[in-house]
Structure 1
Amino acid sequence: MRLGLSALLFALSSCLVTTSTQAENASPSVMAIDDTLFSHQTQWQEAQKATQAQHIKVHNQQAELDRLIEIAKQLNTQLQSAKAHLEHDYLKMIDEPELDITPSQNAYQAAWAEVKQNQQQRLAAEQTLQEQQAQLTQLQTSQEALAQKIKHFEQDKLRARSERLRTELKRASVQKVSFTNVCSASMTLQQCNQQTLELAQQKAVKQFQAWLINETTESSLVKQHLANIS
């Protein structure tokens, strides 16, 4: 009744793996790999959330820097205007010594102070942006490493499932077969017995294979695969 089971094993195993490479050492159980996969997938989801949050921080910091750059353009325009007014008042003071240029001086100093303050703010914003970008890169690298580990464990799971199926298909069982054969009148008794034995063996093999498949952990998948290749 075990004749033909090697071919069956090969056909069934092909639904779980696409490579003929087998582990030389004892493979972890499917359940153990599932536990590891669940843990790493949870870590990956957390890493993804952290990466997305960091993306937002980088975006917001870049927007802040862009805002400060736009303000810098306005402040430089104001500074040039204040400088022009001050120079104009200096020239005017030559003809009008009593002219008070204090307002122009104060306006120029105030404009210059705002430009310097903006420069400091932009420098701090640029430094913060670089730090945020570095942290984002670190998070992305960590997330990618977790993704590679998950891919590796998924391959391990495929191999473990295949190995489990191979083990399950090596089970032994005693099958009881009830078979009645109506022999042709032209047959000898020996021919009739031989035909009955062969037909009974065929029925026993089919019965054993059906039992074997039903006893596998992933019987539904195995049946589906056999239906597709039949």
Structure 2
Amino acid sequence: MKYYNLLELKFDGMAPIKQIVLLLVLGSILANVLAVVFFHLGGYDRADKTVYLTTLIVLVVGGPLGAFLIGQNYKLKVMAEELETAFRKDGMTGLTTRHEFHLRAERLIRNSNPALSAGAVLYIDADRFKTINDKFGHVIGDGVLLELGTMIRETLGRRDVGARFGGKEFAIFLTDADFGQAAWMAEKILLGARRISRNVQDKELSMTVSIGVSFHEPGQTLEHLLATADDCLLQAKEQGRNRVVFAKIKSHA
């Protein structure tokens, strides 16, 4: 088995054209060997013998080669699925990636009523997270992010989209949410983050987040919506952190 794995590894390292040539050469050699052996055993003097020979060659040569190629194709399929999952989902928290968030949120905006708001965006940032890493270590820091991401994911509604934007930043798109729904969600996350605490070396670790909330306006792009939420998040940080700042909602006559 180890020898087969070694050969398979060498085969995978070849250029595609070399792989094709190698398979054709091996298949041709094996087919010719079978033909010569069969000829010496009985020749081609009858049609049934010729049919038997061609069938045998197909089974002996094509079977292993076909199984090998199917195995290679399956490995490629598994690798593609793993890459697709890694591209769409954050490995630590189970939330979507930034790229996937943009795809889904833009689709929700595009499919919404153009005369109405498509929802709201919550931009979330873990407060003083560098201090947590420096004081308690990156293992504890990763655990805090995992708990925060899990809490956010479990808070989402069926049609909402939550993502880890990288590092300590998260974002949520609340589909068709008004001010009351967005405020309720923001407060729930604010309180949930405060409950994330651990005792490390007899020192209590406390966790808070700052949240900026913006509301989609008809015709507004996702980039503008996120930028507005980011501005609100910055204001929350400047005002002392551990709070929510909402963007002003424009009134439409």
Fold shared per TM-score above 0.5: no
| Higher relative contact order (Cα pairs below 8 Å, separated by 6+ residues) | 1
Greater share of helix: 1
TM-score, structure 2 normalization: 0.25
Greater share of strand: 2
TM-score, structure 1 normalization: 0.27
Higher gyration radius (CA) = 1
